[in-house]
Amino acid sequence: KAGVTQTPRYLIKTRGQQVTLSCSPISGHRSVSWYQQTPGQGLQFLFEYFSETQRNKGNFPGRFSGRQFSNSRSEMNVSTLELGDSALYLCASSLGGIDSTDTQYFGPGTRLTVL
Amino acid sequence: GQSLEQPSEVTAVEGAIVQINCTYQTSGFYGLSWYQQHDGGAPTFLSYNGLDGLEETGRFSSFLSRSDSYGYLLLQELQMKDSASYFCAVRGFNDYKLSFGAGTTVTVRA
């Protein structure tokens, strides 16, 4: 079974630009979650999509948005990029049931650098 | 919401035992999970404690005590390949968000 894939793997942008990141979940997984990882900050939850609907949202500004398509693939968009948005963006897929053991399977991440 | 604290770094020699503690403040959660992330890699699931007590998976064990708001991951017979970051995480009852600690970097020395 293929794992979670993310594209692109690396991205360099300048302040003020916008960026779109893509995530393809494991086949059969209906939930996709996005996380921002910076040194010393761990993984900060951005949002979760389940069956094309945003089911949960973290404490990030409205510049961060996402969507999920009918095939469960998901995209994350960041508008008006700031230097502080430089981070590793990870997506994780899961079956998505309201289940305490709903294990997250992470993709390799997209390394975004904002200059 | 959930707040999890874990040590930032731990260093040990091959063959040793390392315990990574995770203390939390939460309004209620399903269980405590642990993830491992090698440098440059993706986090991978290690273990889950839904109930209080010890769960053992090979050289790794995880423990949870809800009354003490505390859990730990125990790494035994350390190997060089165990050098990685380890994250504890909880999923809240109310918001169902998965919240992670800041991570503990384990360095194994020969």
Q: What's the pLDDT score for residue B3? A: 87
Which of B33, B44, B50 is closest, CB to CB, to A106? B44
Residue of A nearest to B89 (CA): A43
Counted across chains A and B, CB pairs separated by less than 8 A come out at 56
Which of B89, B99, B102 is closest, CB to CB, to A41? B102
- B22-34, pLDDT tens digit by residue? 999 877 888 899 9
Q: Is the pLDDT of residue A5 over 70?
A: yes
Q: Is the pLDDT of residue A42 over 90?
A: no
Residue of B nearest to A96 (CA): B96
Residue A42 corresponds to which amino acid?
G
User: What's the rounded mean pLDDT across residues A44-67?
Assistant: 94
What does the alpha-carbon distance between residue A56 and residue A47 come to, in Å, rounded to a whole number? Answer: 5
Let me know: does B100 contact B4? Beta carbons within 8 Å: yes
Residue matched to tokens 């939460």 = B26
What does the alpha-carbon distance between residue A37 and residue A55 come to, in Å, rounded to a whole number? Answer: 21
What does the alpha-carbon distance between residue A52 and residue B107 come to, in Å, rounded to a whole number? Answer: 41
Q: Is A102 within 8 Å of chain B by CB?
A: yes
Q: Is the pLDDT of residue A98 over 80?
A: no
Of the two residues A77 and A42, the one the predictor is more confident about is A77
- Per CB-CB distance under 8 Å, the chain B contacts of A98 are 96
Residue matched to tokens 């503990």 = B104
Residue matched to tokens 């209620």 = B28
Q: What's the pLDDT score for residue A100? A: 58
Q: Is the pLDDT of residue A111 over 90?
A: yes
Nearest chain A CA: its distance from B59 CA (Å): 20
Residue of A nearest to B4 (CA): A42
User: What's the rounded mean pLDDT across residues B64-92?
Assistant: 95
Q: Is A105 within 8 Å of chain B by CB?
A: yes
Q: What's the pLDDT score for residue B89? A: 93
Q: What's the pLDDT score for residue B1? A: 62
User: What's the rounded mean pLDDT across residues A71-85?
Assistant: 96
Nearest chain B CA: its distance from A113 CA (Å): 15
User: What's the rounded mean pLDDT across residues A66-89?
Assistant: 96
- B24-63, pLDDT tens digit by residue? 987 788 889 999 999 989 999 999 999 999 999 899 999 9
